[in-house]
Amino acid sequence: FHLAGIRLAPKEKMEIPVLFMPAEMKIYKAVVIIHVMRENGENWPYEVTAGSNTDLNRNVIVAENGETQGILWIYPINGTPEAPQQKSVVIRCQARQRLEQRVELLLIGVMPAATPVPDATALPGDTAQPGATALADAGNSATVGTEESSNTPEVTDGSSATLEFLYELQYQSDEIRSQLESLVGMQLVEKEWDKESRIVTLIFNVVFAPSKPLRNEATLVIQCAAGGLWKFPLVFIATEPEVDDVINIEAVGLNKESIVGFKLTSQTR
């Protein structure tokens, strides 16, 4: 869209509406360009020195006489479609036991990427959302393609495009992270891409070994390099453990004390 003729007083603020309505699960890129000039069209004196801001120097439009005709601000916009939130996956295990469970997740609407996707450019002054950096640096990635590899199963869908995914388990708070992080393990063990339906199936092996009863939630965030973000809520439930032992106390007589001793071992320091 194009907006023209907007008048701004000195130090006045203006909001620029940006609407993002993706039709497919792929990366969308756009640029918002703001061009400012005097209302009467005249130039104004502005000296661009070597010590001036580099971006400002590049975006200043200078006339032949050295005066400034206008200034450009360029804001790259990178849109990442996010799939609707999926139903929760419940993982239940008895406390002091170890559960190993395969979890199958469907990524609907995946678009193939025939060429490498360029790095996303952040807006000036923009910061990553909590967990975004961890997602990129977590090292948990999966590749779906047709090229034979010792680390990547072959996908027989007739496509030469390669799909790469990043995944990370995110927690709602640091407290939940401290409770679950050492109890939960996830590993991608199988992946398959159906070209016709554009559905990628990722199968994770989830290990849950709770030491005491609890109920906590986490979110498995999966991002495709070609574009798209999927979030799968996971609910981890640890039920009451088995009874350790039955303590029998035999009375030695009425109104007389009977004592039984037993040992308790702490699992932590």
| Tens digits of residue pLDDT in 71-121 | 888 889 999 999 998 899 999 999 999 999 999 999 998 887 544 433 333
Q: pTM for the complete prediction? A: 0.67
The end-to-end CA distance of the chain, in Å, is: 63
| Tens digits of residue pLDDT in 156-213 | 333 434 678 999 999 999 999 999 999 999 999 999 988 888 899 999 999 999 999 9
Q: Where are the domains of the chain?
A: 28-79, 81-112+163-243
For the record, the structure tokens of 64 come out as 């032949």
d(CA 19, CA 2): 13
CATH 2.60.40.2310 assigned to 81-112+163-243: yes
b/e sequence 217-249, b meaning 16+ C-beta within 10 Å: ebbbbbbbbbbbbbebebebbbeeeeeeeeeee
